[in-house]
Amino acid sequence: MKTEEFCKMISRSKPGPGDGGNTGSWRVLRPVINLELCIPVKMNKKACFNCWLYCPDSVVSKTIPPVINFDYCKGCGICAEECPVDAISMVDEATPMEEEK
């Protein structure tokens, strides 16, 4: 009659990343930051960070330079659209990443 003998299964999820899997695989277009234009990089101080603010998936870091987590970036392009100096371009996902070249 011990309580522990009952209710061994309960639908309570524990927090963790990547419930949707590797959502980076959803991407058709990939954001590429031109560091020569990026405001915080150019000014070498914390500034702008529109890409960080508007990212729906919190995959852009608030760092100099901003870094995108491509494991989870869904490629929506909001960062590119909201960048005030057009430093981010959306390139075809089929083009190799910098480190792959």
Instruction: Specify the DSSP element, H or E, that contains 81.
Output: helix 78-82
Our finding on whether 70 is near another protein (CB under 8 A) is no
The phi and psi torsions of 50 (rounded to 5 degrees) equal: -60, -40
Our finding on whether 17 is near another protein (CB under 8 A) is yes
Give me 37's structure tokens: 């234009």
Among 39, 41, 48, 87, binds another protein (CB under 8 A): 48
**Interatomic CA distance for residues 100 and 18, integer angstroms:** 24
Our finding on whether 65 is near another protein (CB under 8 A) is no
Binding site for another protein (CB under 8 A): 1-3, 5-23, 26, 46-50, 52-59, 62, 69, 71-72, 74-78, 80-82, 90
